[in-house]
Amino acid sequence: MIGVFDSGLGGLSVWQALYRALPFESLLYLGDGARCPYGSRSSEEVCQFTEEAVERLLSKGCKMIVIACNTATAVAIAHLREKYPNVPFVGLEPAVKPAALTTKSGVIGVLATKRSLEGDHFRRAEEKYGAEVTILKAVGEGFVEAVESNEEHTAQTAELVRKAVKPLVDAGADKIVLGCTHYPFLREEIARVAGEGVEIIDSSEAVARRVAALLDEYDMRASEESKPEYDFLTFADDEYAEKLRNKAFQTR
């Protein structure tokens, strides 16, 4: 069983990529829910919450854990790898590299939470690729809350997206990186504001490929005779757990 953790619903964008790519693997998703969003919380809080989630997933027998939260990855993954050296972890970071290598305008935009943009993962990517291209940053204010509330298609959310995305496009960005796993659920609206000729990039498919590679590396793959199971946990209530399940099987 592979454990997948996020602050809430957003990591289900990664869960869906794993579900498609690894049809024989059982998946256990833990969406905090009670303390979402993480993007504006202190590093100490995020690290504590993430460790609590990992302990819960390990107690259920998970063989590998995907931290399907850019903020939690930025803050906690180094600590997790040190504390649990025998557990394979896969984290997320904004897909700056593919955007930087394929931009034609020389300008890319990164949409992420404040905490992710302040994290070491992003800073290293910015230092590595920022000399070759212009990297514009924007916080998706209210994006996480909109997804958590199932309000992706409201006029209010459309205005939040416009405020964050239009300045990136007006400044010449031809690639927009989604640096939070909640943001792919707003992809339709982001693409509408960005317009034709602007590519929207998220990390979920790359994460699924990395998980597959690690399963092979550690000889952990489920057999093709396996009957996968899918379960959903939360630190919130039963209603939120059902919300996770419904969102997981929702077509984007």
Catalytic residues: 69, 180
Q: Which two tokens stand for residue 33?
A: 């829910």
Tell me if 173 sits within 8 A of 105, measured CB to CB.
yes
What is the Cα 128 distance to its own chain's centre?
A: 22
Q: How far is CA 71 from CA 49, 93, 124, 171, 177, in A?
A: 12, 9, 15, 26, 15
CB atoms closer than 10 angstroms to residue 179: 32
Tell me if 6 sits within 8 A of 240, measured CB to CB.
no
